[in-house]
Amino acid sequence: MATTDKYRNTYRINTSRATWHDYDAGIYFVTICTSGRKHYFGEIVHTTGKGPVMKFSNIGIFANVCAMAIESLHDDVSMPLHVVMPNHIHLIVIIHPNDNKQQSQTDEPRTQKQAAARKCGRLSRIISHFKSAISKHARQQHIEFAWQERFHERIVRGQDELNNISTYISNNVARWDADEYHDESL
């Protein structure tokens, strides 16, 4: 086996990212899961008259606030829709082309991790900061919490696809019982 297939004597996981796309601009459907799909963010409760609603835990409240803050933290990012579910978060992230891209790429990264993140594109850096903020808050509050490694993203390729994804996110709480991430045993 080639040494490039191992890192620190463990096998690498091949990337699922599109090799033809730099992830520095575009529209993305992002899903971020908790470790073991544990229900850290709260639970879906059924109410009379309103139907199912998400009842947030403390960390769920903070995750929702962080999701709403993404746009204000990044000048080149719009996030028109998101939903925090018991064990995952869906986001639509729009990264607008950055005219100052060359300038930001010449800034010297301070660590190896930052250099690797720069190669992964803007989307990975945004999601990494988001996940880090929630993890840090959980540690400071002594709340048990862990993320699944990585995240899932889909490059949105048209208005019809964006409309379908938006409908899916908007109905995610109501359709929790049929959701692929739903597992009552957790």
Alpha-carbon distance of 120 to 127, in angstroms, equals: 11
pLDDT tens per residue across span 94-140: 999 876 544 444 455 566 655 555 556 789 899 999 999 999 999 99
Alpha-carbon distance of 98 to 163, in angstroms, equals: 25
In the chain, what percentage of residues exceed pLDDT 90? 58
Determine contact, residues 67/129, Cβ cutoff 8 Å: no
Residue 157 belongs to a domain: yes
Residue 64 belongs to a domain: yes
Range of the domain at 162: 19-99+108-173
Q: How many domains does the chain have?
A: 1
Residue 1 belongs to a domain: no
pLDDT tens per residue across span 28-61: 999 999 999 999 999 999 887 888 999 999 999 9
Residue 131 belongs to a domain: yes
Query: What is the CATH number for 34?
Result: 3.30.70.1290
Higher pLDDT, 27 or 110: 27
pTM over the 0.75 mark:
yes
2-14: b or e for each residue (b if 16 or more CB lie within 10 Å)? Answer: eeeeeeeeeeeee
Which pair of structure tokens corresponds to residue 50?
Answer: 């309103």
